[in-house]
Structure 1
Amino acid sequence: MGYRILADAAMAVHFAFLVYVVAGGFLAWRWPRALWPHLAAGVWGVLILTAGIECPLTAAENWSRDRAGGNRLPPSGFIDHYIEGVVYPERYTLLLQLLAVACVLASWSVPLRRRLTSRPHPQSRA
């Protein structure tokens, strides 16, 4: 039973990480330094999707499922198992990926604009 709870915990953390990757940049509207960990999470998320790197959370969930006597996640991974085809139809994957990118960029717009406008401008000499 303990391994099953651990597998469920890994799944919950995985969902939380995905929400953070998509919307965590909005935390930087209040706390500008939050942009850096969000940037790291975003880069990590993109690497997992594009470079075929196995997410440590997927590995932890599979390890726990093995010990609990359950089935492993499919090779396609966490998103394909829990989200794609369950939360939305597979044909909308590209659209939702683009919306996620748009959400990330929108969340970064305010802190980046603040950063650019708060820098002292060199004064011209007459």
Structure 2
Amino acid sequence: MAYRFLADAVMLVHFAFLAFVALGGFLAWRWPRVLVLHAVAVGWGLVSVLAHVECPLTAWEDRFRRLAGEQGLARGFIDTYLTGVLYPREYLLAIQLAIGCLVVVSWVGFALRRRRVVRR
């Protein structure tokens, strides 16, 4: 039972991390220090997507699920919970590009807001 709780907790943290990768730049508009953490998260996201590096959170969740007597993750986190579930597999590249656009828009908005603050 504890392993299942840990697996579910890691899954929720993983979803929160993905949300932070997509939207964390907008948080920096209010709290500028978040931008450094967001840049690190985006960097990790790029490495995991481009180099096909498995996220440690995926491995932890899989291990905890197996220790709980469950099947574990047959595929990666995104393939298990998002691709083919929330959007069709053929839209994966479009979703990745949309998230990249969100990041760029949030960073450009951050820079414009900072420039306006500095001018005052």
Shift of 1:66: 1.4
**Number of corresponding residues:** 118
- What secondary structure does 1:52 align onto? coil
Pair 1:111 & 2:110 matched: yes
Q: Which residue matches 1:51? A: 51
Shift of 1:113: 2.7
Read off the aligned partner of 1:42 and give its amino acid letter: V
How far apart, CA to CA, are the structure 1 residues paired with 2:82 and 2:42? 18
- What secondary structure does 1:32 align onto? coil
Q: Percent identity?
A: 52
Give me the TM-score of the superposition, normalised by structure 1. Answer: 0.87
User: Map of 1:35-114 to 2, 5 A cutoff?
Assistant: 35-74=35-74, 76-114=75-113
Deviations 1:54-110 (A, max 9, x none): 211011101101111111212x41001100000011111111111100001111112
Unaligned runs of 5+ in 2: none
Shift of 1:115: 4.3
Structure of larger gyration radius = 1
- What secondary structure does 1:84 align onto? coil
Unaligned runs of 5+ in 1: 120-126
